[in-house]
Structure 1
Amino acid sequence: MLRLTVDEGGAGQRLDNFLLRLLKGVPKTHVYRVIRSGEVRVNKGRAAADTRLALGDEVRVPPVRTAQRDEAAPAPPREFPVVYEDEYLVVVDKPAGVAVHGGSGVSFGVIEQLRRARPQAKFLELVHRLDKETSGLLMLAKKRSALTALQDQLRQRPGEKVIGKTYAALVPGSWPEKLKVIDVPLHKFLTGEGERRVRTVEPGHEEAKRSITLVKVARRFRDFTLLDVTIKTGRTHQIRVHLAHAGHAIVGDPKYGDFALNKSLARGPAKFERMFLHAQRLRFVHPATGAEIGLEAPLPPECEAFLTTLAA
């Protein structure tokens, strides 16, 4: 039996991601199986895959057999475009196709690469996450006090959320002008292969989590609509599933999108091969000064270029 005390590197992480990083070589399906069975304990109690670990938590892990494999190469050092930075936090413009952290078949992500690029940093942790396929503003804390304060802002109830995140999303078809609020509960589940998925459910579902997305039309094209999407709750894949539920899945979405359309766009003249979802604007209260800060990241060149072809 392995007993571990969560340090600053693991604090704030989900239990499943913590274990996947710890148990290199153990199949993902097995990791989720031991969590569901209750064999993994946090502070002597049962815990779910999405349990957030805190500094000092004791995690008890049952004996598991790991596959023999070569030691993984360390993450290469990499800096990302900085939009804002001070002694408390840094906000970067994450490119699409880069995970925010290692795990789930990914050796490393933004956090590991930044830590390697900044060996002098005593503390560097993700405040929130973005899907690998999503580009845009990503916030990291440089002090534990900042991490705690910013995550407290994120955890506030939907109507009281201080941190505001607005995304640019391109969808096929004509988005209904009157559809401005999507208030549909979501349920996170695992496929038979252990892959994380999300679906809409009825409000009475036992595992339903209320999810609220605000949608505003930014620009219309002949066959597409560019949307400004603001999330009032931060559920996994929330925007992707809500827009798909409304009948307008995000262009290029590999999990919930129109796969035939995605393929035709990738093979077409524009060769657009990514998901068109970009964390464009971020608003938060500074953890030390109390000042409200608003940041913006312009659309990536490939997204701007694709919109140009649509407007032609």
Structure 2
Amino acid sequence: MKSTPEQINPQVQWLEITDANTEQRLDNFLISYLKGVPKTRIYRMVRKGEVRVNKGRVDVSYKLVLGDIVRIPPVRVAEKNADNIIVQPTLKYSLENHILFEDDGFIVLNKPSGFAVHGGSGISSGVIEALRQIRPQQKFLELVHRLDKETSGCLLIAKKRSILKILHELFRGSDIRKTYLALLVGQFQRKKQLVDVPLLKHANNDLERMVTVSQAGKSAETLFTRLQKYQDVTLVQAAPKTGRTHQIRVHAAWLGHPIVGDDRYGDNETNKAFKKRGYKRLFLHAEQLQFAHPVTGQALHFTAPLPDDLKALLDHEKPL
């Protein structure tokens, strides 16, 4: 195997934050700036205080402010580019055939289940790396938000930094409406239910992200609307009013109705039963995105069709 060339920046760097990176999370800024450095190394540098902002320690979730001075320690950087990242051919093919909308500023993609949105944590590449390979002439391609690996559906990708900033502002102001389809274990009795419980994000010993309901966490709200009751499961629409990690999955589990196929927060016995029937994925689909166009202000509404495997599962359930 050909080794990846490396270079070492022997000096501490002091970077002043400009308009282009204002309001960006520190971890996202570092991941973008230190291309080739593993995410685990970046998070460790922040945790140990090797990375500082205005000479002080900060959390990886810190939002950068215009004029902030970021200290970056000497670090070994693997010289990577889009050409030498190995991307699965099936992912490239899927992306080319799953674009719902595209203009000069952004892309709306119907992300297939089973593909991460970006590489890292043992994953060599994801959706964004594949897009950069497919479109080498496109100088800027960045994720506007994220979806879990097993979640399918609407994913926004910016083609300009100016558009990325506007879309981030829309997300922060709750001006982008996202709705999901989820199949919950058991009978969901209420027609509508708003879950408003805080969520705390942490990592286990394998650096795997975990989220729990905790008063020490951040506020999180999800509105669940019952769409169809089946014999043992219920199809719901989930509309998150906040954008916390694993929010819908944890809120559903907290209600006592975890999502079918959720290996992290779900019901093991139910998951085993569905796997015996050949169904092995998380039933969570980002069905709709609604927001104003970042340039024209036109109202936009995108819908990602339910994937065939999810349709097939519902077709085999008995509606009540």
Same fold (TM over 0.5): yes
Q: What is the alpha-carbon distance in structure 1 between the residues aligned to residue 212 and residue 247 of structure 2? A: 9
Q: Which residue of 1 is the match for residue 254 of structure 2?
A: 245
Q: Which residue of 2 is the match for residue 184 of structure 1?
A: 197
Q: Kindly, what percent of the aligned residue pairs are identical?
A: 45
Q: Which residue of 1 is the match for residue 99 of structure 2?
A: 82
Note if contact 1:21-1:103 (Cα within 8 Å) is conserved in structure 2.
no
Q: Which residue of 2 is the match for residue 126 of structure 1?
A: 143
CA RMSD of aligned residues (A): 3.0
Deviation of residue 298 (structure 1)?
Answer: 1.1
How many residues were matched structurally?
297
Q: What is the alpha-carbon distance in structure 1 between the residues aligned to residue 156 and residue 38 of structure 2? A: 30
Deviation of residue 102 (structure 1)?
Answer: 1.1
TM alignment of 1:1-312, pairs within 5 A = 1-3=11-13, 12=24, 15=27, 18-19=30-31, 22=34, 28=40, 31-42=42-53, 44-52=55-63, 59-63=70-74, 73-76=84-87, 78=92, 79-80=95-96, 81-156=98-173, 161-177=174-190, 180-202=193-215, 205=216, 208-268=217-277, 271-311=278-318
Relative distance call for 1:245 and 1:17 in structure 2 (3 A) is: farther
**Deviation sequence 1:246-283 (CA, Å, 0-9, x none):** 00111111211112321221122xx0010000000110
Relative distance call for 1:285 and 1:20 in structure 2 (3 A) is: closer
- Please give the secondary structure, in 2, of the residue aligned with 1:46: coil
Code of the aligned partner of 1:242: H
Q: Which segment drifts farther, 37-46 or 232-241?
A: 37-46
Q: What is the alpha-carbon distance in structure 1 between the residues aligned to residue 318 and residue 53 of structure 2? A: 54
Q: What is the alpha-carbon distance in structure 2 between the residues aligned to residue 284 and residue 120 of structure 1? A: 28
Deviation of residue 174 (structure 1)?
Answer: 0.4
Code of the aligned partner of 2:287: Q
The TM-score with structure 1 as length reference comes to: 0.84
Q: What is the alpha-carbon distance in structure 2 between the residues aligned to residue 56 and residue 105 of structure 1? A: 34
Q: Which segment drifts farther, 238-247 or 37-46?
A: 37-46
List alignment gaps of at least 5 residues for structure 2: 1-10
Q: What is the alpha-carbon distance in structure 2 between the residues aligned to residue 222 and residue 118 of structure 1? A: 46
Deviation of residue 233 (structure 1)?
Answer: 0.4
Relative distance call for 1:20 and 1:195 in structure 2 (3 A) is: farther
Deviation of residue 43 (structure 1)?
Answer: 5.1
Note if contact 2:39-2:121 (Cα within 8 Å) is conserved in structure 1.
no
- Please give the secondary structure, in 2, of the residue aligned with 1:295: strand
Deviation of residue 41 (structure 1)?
Answer: 1.9
Deviation of residue 108 (structure 1)?
Answer: 1.1
- Please give the secondary structure, in 1, of the residue aligned with 2:163: helix
Deviation of residue 44 (structure 1)?
Answer: 3.9
Code of the aligned partner of 2:214: V
Deviation of residue 82 (structure 1)?
Answer: 0.7
**Deviation sequence 1:16-70 (CA, Å, 0-9, x none):** 7845994868693x65443222221245442312235689976534456899xxx
Q: Which segment drifts farther, 43-52 or 141-150?
A: 43-52
List alignment gaps of at least 5 residues for structure 1: none
Q: What is the alpha-carbon distance in structure 2 between the residues aligned to residue 267 and residue 55 of structure 1? A: 54
Deviation of residue 131 (structure 1)?
Answer: 0.7
Code of the aligned partner of 2:204: T
The TM-score with structure 2 as length reference comes to: 0.83
Relative distance call for 1:55 and 1:264 in structure 2 (3 A) is: farther
